[in-house]
Amino acid sequence: MRGPSALSLSRALTRRPHHLHHHHHRALFTTRGQRQQQLAALLTSSPLNTPKRTYSTHPPNAKLNLPTDYSTTPLLCHTTTTALTNPELPPETRNGTTKRMNLFQAVNDALATALAEDESVLIFGEDVAFGGVFRCTGKLAETYGADRVFNTPLTEQGIMGFAIGAAAEGMRPVAEIQFADYVYPAFDQLVNEAAKYRYRDGACGRSAGGLTVRMPCGGVGHGALYHSQSPESLFTHIPGLRVVMPRSPLQAKGLLLAAIRSNDPVVFMEPKILYRAAVEQVPAGSYELPLSKAEVLKKGDDVTVVSYGQPLYKCMAALEQAERDLGVGVELIDLRTIYPWDKETVLKSVRKTGRCVVVHEAMVNAGVGAEVAAVIQEDAETFVRLEAPVVRVAGWSIHTPLSYEQFNAPDVARIYDNIKKVLGF
């Protein structure tokens, strides 16, 4: 966090804004009875005689834009059987046991596994030794020592420069950027040093391939300008980097272990809204899931929906409703690695369905959706099968507003409408 502690941030977030007028200040110091009278007056003065909703929560009569029910979604493995039947798991893992975890616990489990299995793994970042803001590194410093899990000063460029140097000397550093919104001071180090190191060193053989950079990303409903950004497309423009975003705890553990063991620098982006919300059975053993390999989550013949990260849950809700209403079959694909991404899986699906909707939370301009759409229309075999233009459903080209954050990210209704749109073209 920016500042000395998470507690200070909590206090700052609850502190009244400095721009309030004097009469607003006085209102904050009234008695309980006076506050009740003020509330009653506010309610009776409202044309509808109803209180205003906090932020941009769903209205009580919503039919599509309902909160995601993570306890029932088919995108999560709610039983041990469903978790262990994943064909991508190695045989020894499929014959093992599972443990119920949320996403931050799965990240912690992956980090602990990496530390235990490989002495060259280091973990560092702001407040990492204390467990981190989201508790992803809890108890790792106590278990594996302060020389392998440690705090850094509040300097993203310093964190990244140190990590690149450690990777170049044969270590496998896992550097944490506390929020993806804070990565920009480290952008030069990632783009001009980490990504280019192997090419620049040539036959000398050194690289920053052991580097993994973790960062929480995406909106939570009230993060506003500096705690809600999704900057993944900035890194997908850079050869030499892998960019990964998991959708669930099981995926997060396997993909993070693969990233740490990979010989390429990996930007590992974790949707922070899923840290506690997404809970499923996760294999207890050590396992990897393939990088740069998409996963078909649901088969369908009429429309292909491509997404990654948290929007997949909204896509699932939208396509389930579309299938009930329209009598169609929708195929859902999770890219997982968004650079270099699995073109063949997507192209094969679109050749079958003839229609494609790409969904992501990041801004629509120059985003992952634009790249997917371009690749589809550039492939002659796929282009001739298109029955409708490729559609992008993404964040608007604006800064994330505090009170209207939910209206910026794609919601179920927008995805549903665009599925209907490509079917009716």
For the chain, give the percent of residues with pLDDT over 90: 81
**Vertex 147, ends 145 and 153: CA angle to 5°?**
115
State phi, psi for 351 to the nearest 5 degrees: -60, -30
CB atoms < 10 A from the CB of 146, how many? 10
pLDDT in tens, 225-278: 999 999 999 999 999 999 999 999 999 999 999 999 999 999 999 999 999 999
- Model pLDDT, residue 54: 52
The yes-or-no verdict on residue 2 having pLDDT over 80 is no
For residue 250, the SS3 value is helix
- Single out the residue of 251, 220, 240 nearest to residue 336, CA to CA: 251
- Model pLDDT, residue 115: 98
Radius of gyration of the chain (CA): 23
The yes-or-no verdict on residue 307 having pLDDT over 70 is yes
The yes-or-no verdict on residue 32 having pLDDT over 70 is no
The yes-or-no verdict on residue 24 having pLDDT over 80 is no
Q: Which amino acid is at 49?
A: N
- Check 156, 280, 288, 331 and give the catalytic one: 156
- Model pLDDT, residue 33: 47
- Single out the residue of 216, 304, 300, 210 nearest to residue 252, CA to CA: 216
- Model pLDDT, residue 52: 56
- Model pLDDT, residue 173: 98
- Model pLDDT, residue 406: 84
The yes-or-no verdict on residue 379 having pLDDT over 60 is yes
pLDDT range class, residue 339, cuts 50, 70, 90 = very high
- Single out the residue of 271, 216, 219 nearest to residue 249, CA to CA: 271
Give Cα separations from 126 to 5, 15, 42, 154, 156 (angstroms): 10, 24, 44, 6, 9
- Model pLDDT, residue 41: 47
Q: Classify strands 212-217 and 266-271 as parallel, antiparallel or unpaired.
A: parallel
Expressed in angstroms, the distance from the first to the final Cα of the chain is 47
Average pLDDT, the chain: 89
The yes-or-no verdict on residue 114 having pLDDT over 70 is yes
- Model pLDDT, residue 6: 43
- Check 126, 176, 227, 371 and give the catalytic one: 227
In whole angstroms, give the CA distance from residue 32 to residue 39: 11
In whole angstroms, give the CA distance from residue 107 to residue 93: 17
The yes-or-no verdict on residue 51 having pLDDT over 60 is no
pLDDT range class, residue 403, cuts 50, 70, 90 = confident
Q: Which amino acid is at 112?
A: A
Most confident segment among 23-37, 45-59, 289-303: 289-303
Which residues lie across from 337 on neighbouring strands? Answer: 244
The yes-or-no verdict on residue 12 having pLDDT over 90 is no
> Do the beta carbons of residue 241 and residue 265 sit within 8 Å?
yes
Q: How far is CA 158 from the centre of its chain?
A: 24
The yes-or-no verdict on residue 150 having pLDDT over 70 is yes
pLDDT range class, residue 29, cuts 50, 70, 90 = very low
Average pLDDT, integer, range 284-310: 98
**Least confidently predicted of 7-16, 32-41, 62-71, 357-366:** 7-16
**Least confidently predicted of 34-43, 62-71, 172-181, 280-289:** 34-43
> Do the beta carbons of residue 217 and residue 245 sit within 8 Å?
yes
- Single out the residue of 388, 247, 416 nearest to residue 320, CA to CA: 416
58 is catalytic: no
The yes-or-no verdict on residue 23 having pLDDT over 90 is no
**Least confidently predicted of 89-93, 201-205, 281-285:** 201-205
> Do the beta carbons of residue 114 and residue 254 sit within 8 Å?
no
The yes-or-no verdict on residue 37 having pLDDT over 80 is no
pLDDT in tens, 189-227: 999 999 999 999 999 989 999 999 999 999 988 888 999
What H or E segment, with its residue span, contains residue 305? strand 303-307
Which tokens in the block code for residue 410?
């794609």
> Do the beta carbons of residue 297 and residue 309 sit within 8 Å?
no
pLDDT range class, residue 402, cuts 50, 70, 90 = confident
Mapping DSSP onto H, E and C, the string for 41-59 reads HHHHHCCCCCCCCCCCCCC
In whole angstroms, give the CA distance from residue 251 to residue 109: 12
227 is catalytic: yes
> Do the beta carbons of residue 231 and residue 217 sit within 8 Å?
yes
- Model pLDDT, residue 56: 52
